[in-house]
Amino acid sequence: MGEKLFGVIGDPIEHSLSPALFEYVLRELELPYRYRAFHVRANELRDFLQKARAEGIAGVNVTIPHKERVVPLLDALDSQAQKLGAVNTVASEGGRLIGYNTDVLGFTRSLPARGLPLAGERAVVLGTGGAAKAVVYALIDLGIHEIVLGNRTLPRAEQLAMQVATRTGYKNMHCLMLHDLHTLEAIRQAKLLVNATPVGMHPQVGDCPVSDPSCLHEDLLVYDLIYNPQKTRLLKEAEKRGAQAIAGLDMLIYQALESLRIWMKGELKFSEALIRGVRHTLEARLGLR
Ligand code: NAP
């Protein structure tokens, strides 16, 4: 690992889009850094971070399954990472490794203006994993009135709601089974629906996390965090009913750009043209264009 290096660690890591994304951005912004994917297993994490510290690696993205495991191995966390208990960005600052979480901001930045404001509205979030957690914290920051959490395993939803209440004081969160009729009813009355489960992801493209899509309606913004395929069955069903449909690629792009902003310690500006270019690069990489 040399000086001018960023990277991503995960297990597995070979399908990560981050190298293609960052290589494009670093080249376009003429930043003299390289970006590499490192296959790091759980038992290698501590050694990797020690090596990163010793060799002055400038920044590391952390992906599945290490986002929570990495926390105790760092010197400090920023407030967002602390709140989530998960880190997706590590920056080396004066020889110390600091953990950040840019997934929350990545989601917020990727919301279209037409879906905002969310203050006073109801959102339904499907799933309770790392991605759902980032979405929930983002929605609370945006002033959402009520969050309904739909999950296949109800106790996991209840656990997340309790954690959120303890860490933020937000109490207006209700937990339901994913396929409960009340979940469909909640979607009927919601302004935003977020799918944070892998249901509908390649290659299971015929699957839909909503058991009866007739609950989708034209005043709804349907955000599917899946980015392969770009248009999931859920998004197709949403569009059929006049709802606004958003795919997950932009969240991926914005969380990455926020990592770079942290690493470069400055006011990097990301133009619309740059973001369009990243989108095209990733779509080509995924075979979507
Ligand atoms: P995760 O931590 O593994 O969470 C998975 C969640 O999905 C859990 O709530 C799980 O329910 C539920 N689930 C899994 N398989 C299911 C099934 N067959 N039927 C119903 N529910 C199921 O995963 P994650 O990291 O949060 O990622 C979730 C999704 O978001 C993935 O599709 C991922 O690609 C996407 N994502 C996108 C971005 C982005 O930037 N666009 C970022 C992160 C993740 P149980 O609790 O019952 O197991």
Report the interhelical angle of 18-28 vs 249-263 (nearest 10°). 60
Ligand 1 within 6 A of CB of 152: yes
Q: Is 211 helix (H, G, I), strand (E, B) or coil?
A: coil
Ligand 1 within 6 A of CB of 132: yes
Q: Measured in angstroms, how far is the CA atom of residue 253 from the centroid of ligand 1?
A: 18
Question: 63, 180, 225: which to mutate for ligand 1, most atoms within 8 A of CB?
Answer: 225
Q: Where are the beta strands (DSSP E) in 160-288?
A: 173-177, 192-195, 221-224, 244-246
Name residue 10's amino acid. G
Q: Measured in angstroms, how far is the CA atom of residue 127 from the centroid of ligand 1?
A: 6
Regions of the chain with pLDDT less than 50: 1-3
Residue 1 is predicted with a pLDDT of 46
Closest CA to ligand 1's atom 31: 198
Q: Which atom of ligand 1 is nearest to the CA of 127?
A: 9
Distance of CA 57 to the CA centre of its chain: 24
Host H or E run for residue 231: none
- 51 as an active site residue: the answer is no
Residue 2 is predicted with a pLDDT of 43
Catalytic residue (choose from 4, 67, 133, 265) = 67
